Structure 1
Amino acid sequence: MFPVHVQAKDLRVTVGGSRCKQPYSASIYNISAMSYGSLSKTAVTALSAGAKLGGFAHNTGEGGVSPFHIEGGGDLIWQIGTGYFGCRDKDGNFSEKLFKEQVAHPHIKNGGDQAVSGSQARARRYTAGCQEYTGDRSYTQGGTLYTVASPPAHSAFSDQFTMLLYIDKLRVLSDGKPIGIKLCIGNKQEFERLCQEMKHNRIYPDFITIDGAEGGTGAAPLEFTDSLGMPLYDALAYVQHMLELYGLRDEIKLIAAGKIITGVDIIKAISLGADICYSARGMMFALGCIQALQCDSGRCPVGIATQDKNLYKGLDVADKRVRVANFHGNTIKSTIEVMEACGFASLQDITPDKIFRRVEQGQTKSFKDIYFPKKPSPSSISKNYVLN
């Protein structure tokens, strides 16, 4: 009945827990992980430049920090995957020295767990002597073609406890920048075990990014994109449950990724526990994606998902960076308009009991009733820990 007034400056969230020395003020809407190599150099530059223009952040994807991320000038979230691109030694293992050198760059605001002209080879640091990009995750050295594939598992840690030690190591090496993890929830007990280890050892990531099953690029295996992982809303609600149950919520910010394009999408994710949202699809639309469905072929006709210079030279960075910034700005504007109309004076006012969905003919339920039907309780695997 009585609309409120919300300002854009109020839609920013500080990322960084008690162990973080350099907290980051993030927009609630940022560019999701898409690597240079998967995207062209002009696409990456335009995204980073748009992030700078609009005052939001750009996740590098697991391919590492390329010169084109830096050229764009936007704030960067450096994603480190199992290939450790950008901080891998000659054997493909994590290199503390290379990580410390790269993470010190002022454009890198966050770090996280998760081709090639000479510049991209150097960015990914496959090995010494990389010369030329020849295809996805491939390079030539001494006239020989090599392919570098990300292994399925990290070599720097092997379980929840050693992962937390790794997170703490990265935080120290980065001089206290926010460090987080990214995952798609599969086995719920694995995540609950992680919560128990965090509580027991008092080591926490500064943020956790939840990828929904709805996400994934056109280059991903169909079996993975179609069949694996929890849907975003279910996963967010579950993680919110667990973090609250173990008293960890104040230390950790939640980032949601998976088909979040509109202001209403953002509000729905926030109601289920997200502090911040990522968008890949929306940002690609802003670049000019026409959904030609050729992401995995290298023949993207609009020069986004390709390394063919005859195709990507048609992507005008000066024009597209403005479009990326405008897309972000207008999405934030629409979020504000919906919040004002609903009487949400702050992000904290967006709660699941205010969001409704028709579940069947003649029946509507709130998100609270759908996703938080009962108060969570520790599972049997928590018996080894004393909960305060």
Structure 2
Amino acid sequence: MMMVWYVLAAIVLLGAGTMSWYYIYDRWIQRDHAIRRNFPIYGRFRYIMENMGEYFRQYWFTADWEERPFNRLTRAWVYRSAKGVSNYVAFGSEVDAQQPGHIYFLHSAFPINDDEAEIYTGRWIGKDIVGKPYKPKSFFNISGMSYGALSSAAVTALSEGAAMAGVWMDTGEGGLSPYHLKGGCDICFQIGTAKYGVRDKDGNLDEERLRKIAALDQVKMFCIKLSQGAKPGRGGILPGSKVTPEIAGIRGIEAGKASISPSRHRDITDIPTLVAMINRVRKIVDKPVGIKMAVGSFEFIDEFFDYLSQHRLEAPDFIQLDGAEGGTGAAPAPLADYVGQSIVQALPLVAQKLRTYDLRSRIRLVASGKLLTPDKVAWALCMGADYVVSARGFMFSLGCIQAMKCNTGHCPTGVTSNDPRFMRGLDPALKAVRVANYAKAVQHDVEAIAHACGCKSVRELKGQHVRVNGGDLML
């Protein structure tokens, strides 16, 4: 019994000593925090509550439709779909149908019965242009997410899930890792401004490394990244703490050092050099080559398409438009918040420009930027997209809880952390099934929208089938 009292006394003395030290430190030594200097010990609770607030706010204080960047209604739909749980609703919709930006589809008086529907067939990419054109099986696919930005377990689960669902997976600009290949899915290899994975020691394109990657049957397409919506005008950012020796080897960079891509390709300075790079890569790989870009000035689009209309065979085989609402692991706030055009403005106008310059049949259009639920995907198809890709939707299917810790290496679900402590919670085999379930749920529900509109296939969706409150879509 006396031992217990000794232990309790020791705990009390230790606690008192610790609190005394904190009081002295806060009051007389540290000068960084005025609150703690004026209110020793007590002031620390402000910072504790401030830190914990971001975790509890979404559960206790924020309405289901208010949270950003994705509200709880959206995330819950993805979570249920990934788990294979019914997404049927009772007692009516929770969505405010009167709010500006609300999407609604114009159903037909004579909708399509299931037995009348046609099986979806994709559109060829690069047909009659390259020796190995690509015809995707799905209109909804996985957007670019690099190994390094995502954990090895997350990339493995995405690869295996993509193979199960018959969707393609974009490598992101971080190069091709063994984890991308592990599941056997179709792959789009992205060439970022730093040319990770296909660079020489000086950061220039290494044609031999590119040729080796192109020889892999799994790699179906190549995408030259000009910019992305979350940070237009700025290259990719991977903190040094996340650049492990393995990641450094894949990218061709120095381990432990922050991986910051140039703002643009040094060998692309104008439209002719851009087109020259597209054709240089296409000549080496003999597979479809496209570009990824966020739209800034529409004057550039006119100049670009006018040039391509005169050099039709040299045009990119596809263009991925990324909206300013797109996501990323790390970006400067001013660029993420205030630079670039939304996919809402960019997609309809670029699709129209392709028709104006008679390039619509030559160039496939891929849309991205917060398009992760059936309504947004169907809207993009109506606006002229041939394919839609999502990154954060598939992250949610892996178990992402929107903790906003992607750039810290402390993602609590292990999706964006290679720390074994966090990554052990992500079982690739289980999550792969959820990735496939989510992809199939989007495919199924977009098809349901198309059938309600009287279309036998999602390929028949057009602008006439959709309306938006107020004329503008706010994703």
Q: Which residue number in structure 2 is paired with residue 110 of structure 1? A: 221
Write out per-residue CA displacement over residues 137-180 of structure 1, whole angstroms, 9 at most, x where no aligned residue.
Answer: xx15xxxxx43320111023211111111111111111x21100
Alignment of 1:168-179 (within 5 A): 168-174=279-285, 176-179=286-289
Residue of structure 2 in register with 1:362 after alignment: none
Give the CA RMSD over aligned residues: 1.7
Structure 1 contact 67–119 (Cα < 8 Å) conserved: no
Q: Distance in 2 between matches of 1:113 and 1:148?
A: 18
Distance 1:150 1:8 in 2: 44
| 1:288 to partner: Cα distance | 0.2
Q: Quote the residue 2:428 is aligned against.
A: 317
Q: Return 5+ residue gaps in structure 2 as ranges.
A: 1-108, 226-241
Unaligned segments of structure 1, at least 5 residues:
131-138, 141-145, 360-364, 368-388
Q: Could you give the per-residue CA deviations for residues 59-117 of structure 1, whole angstroms, max 9, x where no partner exists? A: 11000101111123211111111000011001111111111112211111110112444
Query: Per-residue deviation at 1:267?
Result: 1.1
Equivalent of 1:150 in 261, 269, 292: 261
The amino acid of 1:94's aligned partner reads L
Does residue 246 of the first structure (1) align with residue 357 of the second (2)? yes
Letter of the 2:124 counterpart: T
Which residue of the partner structure matches residue 270 of structure 1?
381
Query: Given the superposition, is the C-alpha separation of residues 337 and 36 from structure 1 closer, same or farther in structure 2, using an over 3 Å criterion?
Result: same
Mean Cα deviation higher: 151-160 or 208-217: 151-160
Q: What's the counterpart of residue 87 of structure 2?
A: none
d(CA) in 1 for partners of 2:453, 2:345: 24
SS of 1:10's partner is coil
Match of 2:275 in 1: 164
Q: Aligned pair in 2 of structure 1 residues 8, 40: CA closer, same or farther (>3 Å)?
A: farther
**Higher strand residue share:** 1
Normalising by structure 1, report the TM-score: 0.85
| Matched-pair contact (CA < 8 Å) for 1:60–1:79 | yes
Q: Secondary structure of 2:135's partner? A: strand
Render the CA deviation track for 1:280-339: whole Å, top value 9, x for unaligned: 111011000111111111100000011212111221000000000010011111111111
Match of 2:249 among 105, 108, 122: 122
**Cα separation, 1, equivalents of 2:139 and 2:459:** 13
1:21 aligns with 2:148: no
Task: Judge conservation of contact 1:77–1:109 (CA < 8 Å) in 2.
Answer: yes
**What residue in structure 1 maps to residue 66 of structure 2?**
none
**Contact 1:352–1:366 at 8 Å: present in 2 too?**
no
- Aligned-partner residue type, residue 251 of structure 2: R
Residue 196 (structure 1) shift: 1.5
CA distance, structure 1, for counterparts of residue 427 and residue 382 of structure 2: 37
Residue in 1 that maps onto 2:301: 191
Percent identity between matched residues is 38
What residue in structure 1 maps to residue 292 of structure 2?
A: 182
| Other-structure match for 1:370 | none
Q: Is the 8 A contact 1:8 1:332 kept in 2?
A: no
CA shift for structure 1 position 8 = 7.5
Bigger Cα displacement from structure 2, 113-122 vs 205-214: 113-122
Preserved contact between residue 11 and residue 347 of structure 1 (Cα < 8 Å): no
Number of aligned residues: 345
Residue 350 of structure 1 aligns with which residue? 461
Deviates more, 1:94-103 or 1:313-322: 94-103
Q: In structure 1, what residue type is equivalent to 2:387?
A: I
